[in-house]
Structure 1
Amino acid sequence: MNIGFIGLGIMGKPMATNLLKAGYPLYVYNRSSQAVDELKALGATSKSSPREVAEASDMIITMLPDSPQVEQVIFGDNGVIAGISSGKIVVDMSSINPIAVKQMAAKLDAVGVSMLDAPVSGGQLGAIEGKLAIMVGGPQIMFDQVKPVLEKMGTTVTRVGDIGAGNTVKLINQIMVAINIAGVSEALAFGKKAGIDPAIAYEAIRGGLAGSRVLETKIENISKESFKPGFRVQLHEKDLNNAIAVEKEIGANLSFTHHILDMFKKLDQLGLGTEDHSALYRWYSRL
């Protein structure tokens, strides 16, 4: 299967690299050339537009910041839709609004093209190691067809429902992660004010009920108060904004999410939007 990959950012580049390591012919496009050049050196073929990627590929993967970018790449000038043909598959692995995914899938279906939404969790390290959790929405027959490819990028590949369900489950994930990071940050900042080093508190509680994957992966950032991004504040802010949009559509209650989104927005306004989302600790420790 010839694979196209569009969007070679902090997540997309290592994901594409793992597909090359697995032996797949890979056609790539990205706005900036550095990542393209790095992948070309590993055996990828560069293309000058999403249209050219679609012409050369059986399966086109997109990994982009948000819904507008995905829509532009697929339906804009020289977009995927201009080069795609019936029977090909688009797999969007971005984390975007599930309502937008359903609308895009309907447009592609009209020209005989199937679409799956397959957002990921696991951060940059998970992308590099090929250990992402991938949650997929779309027809079972299409899922079965692309699952072997997705398994080269993730250790858990789960079909969670029809189109849009992948991004809905990703929003569930992002809500849980945000609340967990906020809880860890609030508690450890409280402890530090009381004279307890966060690293010592971590060692004492990590094996108990308060232990979590978030605590394990973010304690170094918090204890050193160094927030080099693995997943940026701005991206988590974007995900929670998408969750709020869906909340209004379905009549849910995301009161905790609103509160944490407000904190992310204020960090962004302070110029900290490019820091890791564990920079929520800064909010509780009061810059």
Structure 2
Amino acid sequence: MNSIKQAAAIGFIGTGVMGKSMVKNLIKAGYKLHVYSRTKSKADELLEIGAVWHDTPAELAREVDAVITMVGYPSDVEEIYLGEKGIVRNAKPQTFLIDMTTSSPSLAKKIEQKAKLYQCCTLDAPVSGGDVGAREARLSIMVGGEQDVFDAFKSVFEALGRNIVYQGQAGAGQHTKMCNQIAIASNMMGVCEALIYAKKAGLDQSVVLKSIESGAAGSWSLSNLAPRIINGDFEPGFFIKHFIKDMGIAIQAADEMGIETHGLKLAKSLYDQLQEAGYGNKGTQALYHIYK
């Protein structure tokens, strides 16, 4: 399979917190970007720097060599790929179809099977790293699909991230992302509990952070989200509503495999409370409000 060329036309569907920065990095890398988002105003900044707008995913798919999606929910992914006016039915043969949404492993397999009927190739490639990782092109990218498709598309991933790992066949990228979200779920509880403990003990939270973030307690969440909590910044690098969706997928998959996930289920119950209280559009660090 031929590798995608640097000057290729890439379609990008979903220009939110993560997607917007990813499009910018692809433009910087020399690709010609075509974009679609349900809310066109979210793409205005990208159109100003050369991206081409399309009114529908189908229209976009007919004009590009690859389509990357970064949307909200598995239902969105299924509609965009497999609907009557979806990208699978409208893409040219040999088009790369790359879903970077955190979605269902079983849906990734379903999309691959359907795309093969239309002579297109797919990868499921969810990411970790939040808004900062997207902005600085240092996302961790977890990839499932055929090895030769991954090899052909890897140069595009290199414009978006630094830790790019092929995990196996279709669905493997999504399963790996579930491992990531399971680890984060309990970790975020620990980060919030540690900070509230420090506060109640009369300590300076920022000074405590200096001592613990480089030791055995260290984590990405502690180093990147604890400072936001301390500064009262609960704006989203990653939405609570999307994290709840991810945890739901992970719980369902774990249940199907007969795995008990105590920490994951507790974390989801706390985030569910936050969403019910109106915090769904805040960042995951807003879990601190439960303890506060």
TM-score strictly above 0.5? yes
Structure 1 runs (4+) deviating above 3 angstroms are none
* Equivalent residues of 2:247, 2:268 under 8 A apart: yes
Sequence identity of aligned pairs in percent?
A: 38
- For 1:255, the equivalent position in structure 2 comes to 262
**Residue 100 of structure 1: how far off its partner (Å):** 1.5
**Whole-angstrom distance in 2 between the partners of 1:22 and 1:207:** 33
Q: Does the residue aligned with 1:271 lie in a helix, a strand or coil?
A: coil
2:58 to 7, 31, 51: 51
**Residue 225 of structure 1: how far off its partner (Å):** 3.2
Q: Does the residue aligned with 1:156 lie in a helix, a strand or coil?
A: strand
**Whole-angstrom distance in 1 between the partners of 2:207 and 2:43:** 43
> Normalization by structure 2: what TM-score?
0.94
**Whole-angstrom distance in 1 between the partners of 2:163 and 2:14:** 22
**Whole-angstrom distance in 2 between the partners of 1:153 and 1:269:** 34
* Equivalent residues of 2:88, 2:120 under 8 A apart: no
**RMSD, matched Cα:** 1.3
Structure 1: 5+ residue stretches without partners: none
**Residue 77 of structure 1: how far off its partner (Å):** 4.2
**Whole-angstrom distance in 2 between the partners of 1:254 and 1:50:** 37
| TM-aligned CA distance change 1:193 to 1:233, over 3 Å | same
* Equivalent residues of 1:87, 1:112 under 8 A apart: yes
What is the identity, as a one-letter code, of the residue corresponding to 1:58?
D
Q: Does the residue aligned with 1:158 lie in a helix, a strand or coil?
A: strand
**Residue 81 of structure 1: how far off its partner (Å):** 2.3
Q: In terms of mean alpha carbon deviation, does 43-52 or 202-211 score higher?
A: 202-211
- Per-residue CA deviations over 1:74-112 (Å, capped at 9, x if unaligned) read 122422123113221200000011112111221112222
> Normalization by structure 1: what TM-score?
0.95
* Equivalent residues of 2:185, 2:263 under 8 A apart: no
**Whole-angstrom distance in 2 between the partners of 1:28 and 1:111:** 22
**Whole-angstrom distance in 1 between the partners of 2:40 and 2:214:** 45
- For 2:132, the equivalent position in structure 1 comes to 125
* Equivalent residues of 2:127, 2:141 under 8 A apart: yes
2:116 to 106, 109, 122: 109
2:88 to 81, 95, 103: 81
Q: In terms of mean alpha carbon deviation, does 211-220 or 141-150 score higher?
A: 211-220
**Whole-angstrom distance in 2 between the partners of 1:81 and 1:208:** 47
How many matched pairs?
285
**Whole-angstrom distance in 2 between the partners of 1:15 and 1:104:** 23
